[in-house]
């Protein structure tokens, strides 16, 4: 049973000659931030290309609850902001559904305004740790009251007289960094975040676009991001690039399905997000970047992926993990069709995503005939080349959209079909996954 209602079992069968253009949804990370910063700006922010998955719609609903006007007219989302520190106290519990990004960023955004808000989510989100965000927010003067282990449901009391904060993140996390920077907006003085490893920088790019003063420098301590508090954020016109994490699925399908040639237009190639594409090229993937350009401060290109029968296993550098953390599940699928060993170290963050993604993928891949080894913060897939994976088993999605989609991609190139116990969570991030893959020629269907 899915926390999204009835479970939707799905099945993927061997498919060849995937062709066409895959118009994947807008970038989820940028969509969340566009709504939140639009709500904290003065005037009307207009957003096109917003990802309309459930996670982002939950963030839009939350911004309305905090007093911003958010509505869709035609293809454009209009956000009438309330200014930094202008959030009103919500009169109901804020339900963030399945979205760790949404809840953690919104907690940061409201933590330095003297209001109270209670947050909850679905069964998966309510198991995830929030202390990694509420600990630094406490330094500003915010207080958090939640369930044991720092879990939702949780009430945050925003700081009445917030203090600026200097915070070194204990683990690389763009969500934690972004929550602290958003909290710093309503605090006086300079808020500083120090990261040992650079994580995705959408928040910094977008904060600068809205008129905040934010600088990043590399020092002996690591990456030091400094935000000057209490700016007036100016409303913006935002075109959301298409999501590289969603692009990963049609791209990887094309690489492992014989005779495929797929174009994925207008993909964000932010260097803090594009690690998967560089890794695939190192493995020998026929993957090219066409029409490279910049949109809204973000680098963008059209990706062309063709069937690549001679993929080789590689050692993925651990420092690349932060730039592709969400893509390891589908990378492990490609690795199953590569020749030799693909070793993925430095990925302990995967243990606390929507599910324990290392365990979920290892169990499902082994069931389908792939040899996998795993440790606390690493895993290794032993591939035997194109046409070597037998399939034929059911994989459990653990209410995790990326696990569900990864196993469906696996089934497109295995000898026997692959079943997934529940594909319902896919709607949270990639609502058009089924029709998009079908249009390319992929045989993915509901198993009934």
Q: At 367, which CATH number? A: 3.65.10.10
Inside any domain, residue 325: yes
368-371: long-range pairs with CB below 8 Å, 24+ = 368/392, 368/393, 368/395, 368/407, 368/410, 368/414, 368/418, 369/393, 369/414, 370/336
Residues 382, 305 share a domain: yes
Residues 194, 80 share a domain: yes
* Catalytic residue from among 326, 400, 421, 422: 326
Q: List pLDDT tens digits, range 184-234.
A: 999 999 999 999 988 889 999 999 999 999 999 999 999 999 999 999 999
Q: Which pLDDT score, from 0 to 100, does residue 1 have?
A: 39
Stretch 372-397: mean pLDDT, rounded? 96
Which conformational region is residue 188 in: left (phi greater than 0), alpha (psi within -120 to 50 degrees), or beta? beta
Q: For the ranges 157-166, 293-302, 430-439, which has the lowest average pLDDT? A: 293-302
Q: List pLDDT tens digits, range 131-144.
A: 999 999 999 999 99
Inside any domain, residue 44: yes
Residue 158 has pLDDT above 70, yes or no: yes
Residues 137, 64 share a domain: yes
Stretch 155-178: mean pLDDT, rounded? 96
- C-alpha to C-alpha distance for 400 and 26, rounded to whole angstroms: 19
Residue 281 has pLDDT above 50, yes or no: yes
Residue 38 is inside which H or E element, if any?
Answer: helix 28-40
- Mean pLDDT across the chain, nearest whole number? 95
Residues 255, 201 share a domain: no
Q: Which pLDDT score, from 0 to 100, does residue 296 have?
A: 65
Q: Which domain holds residue 160?
A: 28-226
Residues 275, 152 share a domain: no
Inside any domain, residue 186: yes
Residues 337, 206 share a domain: no
- Using alpha carbons, list the distances in angstroms from residue 287 to 129, 316, 331: 37, 17, 14
Q: Which pLDDT score, from 0 to 100, does residue 394 have?
A: 97
Q: Which pLDDT score, from 0 to 100, does residue 2 have?
A: 42
Residues 411, 338 share a domain: yes
Residues 52, 19 share a domain: no
Inside any domain, residue 231: no
Number of domains comprising the chain: 2
Taking the whole predicted model, whether its pTM rises above 0.75 is answered as yes
Where is the domain boundary, 226, 261, 295? Answer: 226
The yes-or-no answer on residue 421 being catalytic is no
Give residues with Cβ within 8 angstroms of 219, minimum separation 6: none
Q: List pLDDT tens digits, range 118-134.
A: 999 999 999 998 999 99
């Amino acid at each position: 049973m899915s926390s999204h209602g009835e479970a939707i079992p799905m099945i993927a069968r061997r498919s060849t000659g995937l062709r066409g253009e895959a118009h994947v949804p807008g970038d989820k990370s940028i969509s969340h931030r566009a709504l939140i910063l639009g709500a904290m700006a003065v005037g009307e922010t207009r957003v096109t290309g917003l990802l309309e998955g459930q996670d982002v719609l939950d963030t839009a609903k939350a911004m309305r609850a905090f007093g911003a006007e958010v509505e869709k007219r035609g293809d454009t989302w209009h956000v009438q902001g309330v200014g930094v520190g202008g959030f009103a106290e919500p009169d109901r519990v804020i339900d963030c559904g399945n979205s760790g990004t949404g809840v953690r960023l919104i907690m940061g955004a409201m933590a330095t305004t003297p209001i109270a808000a209670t947050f909850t989510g679905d069964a998966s989100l309510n198991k995830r740790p929030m202390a990694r965000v509420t600990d630094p927010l406490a330094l500003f003067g915010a207080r958090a009251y939640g369930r044991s282990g720092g879990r939702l449901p949780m009430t945050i009391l925003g700081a009445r007289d917030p203090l600026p904060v200097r915070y070194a993140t204990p683990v690389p996390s763009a969500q934690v960094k972004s929550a602290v920077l958003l909290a710093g907006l309503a605090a006086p003085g300079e808020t500083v975040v120090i990261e040992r490893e650079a994580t995705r920088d959408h928040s910094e790019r977008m904060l600068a676009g809205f008129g905040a003063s934010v600088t990043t420098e590399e020092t002996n301590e690591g990456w030091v991001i400094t935000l000057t508090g209490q700016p007036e954020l100016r409303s913006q016109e935002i075109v959301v690039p298409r999501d590289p994490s969603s692009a990963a699925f049609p791209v990887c399908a094309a690489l492992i399905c014989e005779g495929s040639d797929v174009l994925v237009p207008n993909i964000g190639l932010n260097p803090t997000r594009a690690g998967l594409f560089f890794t695939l090229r190192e493995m020998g993937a026929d993957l090219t970047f066409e029409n490279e350009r910049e949109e809204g401060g973000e680098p963008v290109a059209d990706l062309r992926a063709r069937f690549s029968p001679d993929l080789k296993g590689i050692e993925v550098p651990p420092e690349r993990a932060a730039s592709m953390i969400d893509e390891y599940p589908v990378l492990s699928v490609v690795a199953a069709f590569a020749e030799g060993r693909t070793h993925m170290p430095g990925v302990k963050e995967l243990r606390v995503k929507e599910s324990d993604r290392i365990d979920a993928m290892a169990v499902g891949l082994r069931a389908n005939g792939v040899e996998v080894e795993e440790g606390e913060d690493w895993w290794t897939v032993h591939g035997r080349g194109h046409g070597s994976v037998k399939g034929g088993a059911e994989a459990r999605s653990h209410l995790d959209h990326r696990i569900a989609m990864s196993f469906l991609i696996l089934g497109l190139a295995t000898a026997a079909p692959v079943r997934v116990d529940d594909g319902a969570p896919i709607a949270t991030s990639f609502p058009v996954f089924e029709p998009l893959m079908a249009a390319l020629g992929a045989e993915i269907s509901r198993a009934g």
